């Protein structure tokens, strides 16, 4: 059994790689890195977690998983910061599980 792909397999792998790169280039600007924050009893903001989100609409709505913005006790965290590949598009955000 050969481990080196033949010409047909290599062409298919190249086409697949081009497709994956294209999708990544198109989707990447809509993917956000989330730094989730919460408030301590004394009011100080502290880092409470991290995750990712996508922006599916032009108005900047962030869609993420509930576990990213919910504490272990099921309480919604108070906010955080979203950063994008395009650093100019950093935004503060409030969390909502509705």
Q: What is the pLDDT of residues 12-32, one digit of tens each?
A: 889 999 999 999 888 888 898
Predicted confidence band of residue 7 (pLDDT cuts 50, 70, 90):
confident
Asked if the model's pLDDT at residue 92 lies above 70, the reply is no
Every domain of the chain and the residues it spans: 32-93
Global pTM reads 0.59
pLDDT digits (tens, 9 = 90+) for 49-86: 889 999 888 888 889 888 888 888 888 887 888 888 76
Cβ neighbours, 10 Å, residue 62: 22
- Helices then strands, counting H and E runs in the chain, come out as 2, 4
């Amino acid at each position: 059994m050969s481990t080196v792909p033949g010409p047909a397999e290599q062409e298919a792998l190249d086409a697949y790689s081009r497709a994956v790169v294209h999708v990544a280039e198109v989707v990447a600007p809509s993917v956000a890195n989330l730094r989730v924050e919460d408030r301590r009893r004394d009011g100080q903001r502290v880092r409470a977690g991290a995750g990712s989100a996508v922006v599916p609409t032009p108005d900047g709505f962030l869609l993420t998983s509930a576990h990213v913005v919910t504490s272990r006790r099921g309480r919604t965290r108070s906010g955080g910061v979203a950063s994008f590949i395009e650093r100019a598009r950093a935004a503060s955000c409030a969390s909502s599980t509705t």
